[in-house]
Structure 1
């Protein structure tokens, strides 16, 4: 079964979305939805990282709380900076963060965290996955930012995915 349907939730989602987009239940629409639901997961199977093994669910929940707090705090900070500073006084730049983690699932979660957080964006990761380039909206202390990324995100992600 796994050979023909490698990701049942993805297949089901594709099938339902196709039907909703077409707003029809005729035979041709159902057939095309079934073909897409089977073909897309098979064709994209090599693009998905290996199945993640979450080792510390309690830490993952705590990390979600940290992320939620950081998202709200960062959104308020960026809004305040945009409303109170002149653009000439803002100093956006890139920060290179050295990485210890190598797990592709942990790196994907880190990418989502950094892209969702207002004021930061994932720039690039080095070929050997030893460093990450992050665009920062406005940061005075580069070393403090690196320490924050490593302590608040990288260390917990390593414990969740790599320990």
Structure 2
């Protein structure tokens, strides 16, 4: 089964995304989306140095809910900072110590930080022990590090079992 379906979660995700983009459950879309969902992981399997292992896929749902909430809230905060009364911003570079072992988990964390308005991942240390983050307005560096670790890194550690 692994040979024909090397990444079942990716296949399900591709099929679902296809159907959402097509906005149709017509038999043709079901069939074409299914063929793409089965074929793409087969053709791209050799490009993956290691197969990503998601140990607890159901924990992705609350993680995504937290991420969407944080993105929405950060958009409002950044809009207020930019459009509100003129005040001095406190931009800063922060070194976030990493507790993640999985390359995929680190990539998801860096993308999560960059997706949230007001922060962007800028550099991963060669030993993968620190992530350099630029933040638009930092009042308390330790508080920001603790928040990123609690809201994003710890759940990713559970999801990917690192």
**Same fold judged by TM-score > 0.5?**
yes
Give 5+ residue unaligned stretches, structure 1. 10-37
Structure 1 equivalent of residue 126 of structure 2: 127
Instruction: State how many pairs are aligned.
Output: 130
**CA shift in 2, pair 1:69/1:49, >3 Å:** farther
Q: List, as ranges, runs of 4+ consecutive aligned residues in structure 1 with deviation greater than 3 Å.
A: none
Higher Rg of the two aligned structures: 1
1:102-117 counterparts in 2 under 5 A? 102-117=101-116
Structure 2 equivalent of residue 101 of structure 1: 100
Give 5+ residue unaligned stretches, structure 2. 12-39
The alpha-carbon deviation at position 58 of structure 1 amounts to: 2.3
What do you get for the CA RMSD once the two structures are aligned? 2.8
TM-score by length of 2: 0.70
Structure 2 equivalent of residue 141 of structure 1: 140
2:104 counterpart SS class:
helix
2:95 counterpart SS class:
strand
Structure 2 equivalent of residue 84 of structure 1: 84
1:159 counterpart SS class:
helix
For 1:7-41, what per-residue CA distance to the aligned partner results, in whole angstroms no more than 9, with x for missing partners? Answer: 9x7xxxxxxxxxxxxxxxxxxxxxxxxxxxx9xx6
Is residue 80 of structure 2 the alignment partner of residue 69 of structure 1? no
For 1:39-90, what per-residue CA distance to the aligned partner results, in whole angstroms no more than 9, with x for missing partners? Answer: xx67x955x4522221112211100000000000000000001011436x01
Is residue 59 of structure 2 the alignment partner of residue 59 of structure 1? yes
